[in-house]
Amino acid sequence: MAAYFSGIEKINYEGPDSDNPLAFHHYNPTELVAGKPMKDHLRFGAAYWHCMRNELADPFGAGTALMPWDDGSATEQNALKRADVFFEFLEKIGIDYYCFHDRDISPECGTLTETHDMFHRVVAHFGDLQKQGGKKLLWGTACLFSHPRYAHGASTSPNADVFAYGASQVKNAIDATHALGGEGYTFWGGREGYGSLINTDMTREVDHLATFLHMAVDYAKSIGYTGQFYIEPKPREPSTHQYDSDAAACLNFLRQYDLLDHFKLNLETNHATLAGHTMEHEMEVAIGANALGSIDANRGDELLGWDTDQFPTNLYGTTNVMLRLLKMGGFTTGGLNFDAKRRRESHEPVDLFHAHIGGMDAFARGLKIAAKIIEDGRFSEFVKTRYSSFDSGMGGKIEAKQVGFQDLDEYARGIEAPQLSSGRQEHLENVLNDYL
Ligand code: XUL
Ligand code: CO
């Protein structure tokens, strides 16, 4: 196979003392942490759209990314070549999983049938490349947001034929995910929301979204696809309001429409920020409902109010994510998919390597710090003690649901005024800093 990243060797672990920028300083895939190799905890994935299709344009200027392998044409040949480049990248960076949208890997053609036919031929090539390099599909998805036909939404479009087009795309994307042994399939409702309520029947649109997802579940069952379905929350952008706005809204929707048995959440850090939450908050909400499936690993910028999709390099962030993942018992079908792009100024192919190395090293450190925090048990001991008044006595009866307002009225009248203990937030923040 031709080498497109010539001059870049396979990235190896060289340890924290190395000053080689094209080496891992912390991510050592086979090193055991909490009884498991790092790579099995982290299950890194690369996003095809950002690695291969993101030209690094912004609303004020054209793309800057150098992609010498890409002739810019919407041809099958170009699509096949890009796939070769991507698998060379996966091999050299040492990432086992990847994710794609249908339109990332194969273009829109003259008719829907031609589009699907080319897509499945390209998918077959992905299948061969997977076999050659031992790479795996973390999840597949369909792009129901770029084409102008989806301007008013896909499953939530007021136009029923658009709903049908979207269904056709998702059916074929599920077929492809199944053929490639994909461990999951993601729904991100890119335009499933509204620009204004002045022209929108929200109840009807949300009903249609649920109908669409039920059709996906039924179809997967009919072809024997048993991968995990995910919904990816995001509050806005491109829509003013998206129906899958945050983890709690998604869970409520899934419960209301009897879909919770079939879906878990794919949480993205930058989307949590846009929703006005921390990623830790979103993870606690999802884990509390036994519904955390996978993670789109990135970060936003505190100074910018949009989805900057930066590579995750903040150690507080990676530590907080890994703390919760470890407590959950780790991923089952999910992984840490770098839904992240380089800055527009970082336009050279080698920057793809620097970017992923940084994210992988940051998560390796987060994993090690989190494992140590859990092993020491200082935070969990503190939290346990903080709630200990519910372990026995009247607190125990409250948790066991053995008492009501009548009992508590009598009880409260007979006791001294409650004495509070300190929450010690600052002390605990200092302890966290000691670990970092
Ligand atoms: C958009 C986003 C998507 C999904 C997949 O903000 O995160 O790339 O991850 O459609
Ligand atoms: Co994402």
Q: What is the CATH number of domain 32-376?
A: 3.20.20.150
32-38 own/partner pairs: CB under 8 Å, 24+ apart: 33/367, 33/368, 33/371, 34/326, 34/371, 34/374, 34/375, 36/330, 38/364, 38/367
Residue 1, burial from CB neighbour count under 10 angstroms (0-12, 13-18, 19+):
exposed
* Helix 202-223 × helix 247-256 angle, to 10°: 70
Q: Alpha-carbon distance 368 to 84, whole Å?
A: 34
Residue 393, burial from CB neighbour count under 10 angstroms (0-12, 13-18, 19+):
exposed
pLDDT at 3: 83
What is the DSSP track for 106-142? S---SSHHHHHHHHHHHHHHHHHHHHHHT-EEEEEE-
Q: Which ligand is nearest to the CA of 142?
A: 1
Structure tokens at 44: 């890194």
Q: Please report the atom of ligand 1 found closest to the CA of residue 49.
A: 8
Q: Please report the atom of ligand 1 found closest to the CA of residue 337.
A: 9
Question: Which residue minimizes the CA distance to atom 4 of ligand 1?
Answer: 188
From 9, 51, 24, 87, select the one nearest 337 (Cα to Cα): 51
> Cα of 183 to ligand 2 centre, how many Å?
16
Q: Alpha-carbon distance 11 to 329, whole Å?
A: 29
Pocket of ligand 1 (CB under 6 A): 101, 141, 186, 188, 232, 234, 268, 296, 307, 339
Give residues with Cβ within 8 angstroms of 170, minimum separation 6.
142, 144, 212, 216
Weakly modelled stretches of the chain, pLDDT under 70: 1-2
> Cα of 98 to ligand 1 centre, how many Å?
14
Q: Has 58 been annotated as catalytic?
A: no
Q: Please report the atom of ligand 1 found closest to the CA of residue 266.
A: 9
Q: Which ligand is nearest to the CA of 234?
A: 1
Q: Alpha-carbon distance 306 to 325, whole Å?
A: 26
Question: Domain ranges in the chain?
Answer: 32-376, 379-435
pLDDT at 1: 54
Question: Which residue minimizes the CA distance to atom 2 of ligand 1?
Answer: 188
* pTM exceeds 0.95 for this model: yes
Per annotation, catalytic residue among 96, 104, 246, 296: 104
pLDDT at 302: 85
> Cα of 339 to ligand 1 centre, how many Å?
7
Per annotation, catalytic residue among 50, 101, 116, 208: 101
Most ligand 1 atoms within 8 A of CB, residue of 52, 97, 141 to mutate: 141
Most ligand 1 atoms within 8 A of CB, residue of 296, 306, 309, 338 to mutate: 296
What is the DSSP track for 287-336? HHTT-EEEEE--B--TT--S---B----HHHHHHHHHHHHHHT--SS--E
